[in-house]
Amino acid sequence: MFRINKEKRIANQIREMLYKRGFKVETKFSKNTKSVYLILDNGACSTIRISDHINYKNKSKYNVIKNYQGKKTEYSNGKIKIFYNFHMIGRLIADIESERSNKILRYGYRNYKTIRDKEDLSQNYIFYKQAA
Cβ atoms < 10 Å from Cβ of 81: 21
Confidence of residue 130 (pLDDT cuts 50, 70, 90): low
Confidence of residue 132 (pLDDT cuts 50, 70, 90): low
Confidence of residue 108 (pLDDT cuts 50, 70, 90): very high
**pTM to 2 decimal places:** 0.81
Instruction: Give φ, ψ of 8 to 5 degrees.
Output: -70, -35
Beta bridge partners of 80: 75
Beta bridge partners of 84: 64
Of the two residues 111 and 129, the one the predictor is more confident about is 111
Cβ atoms < 10 Å from Cβ of 9: 14
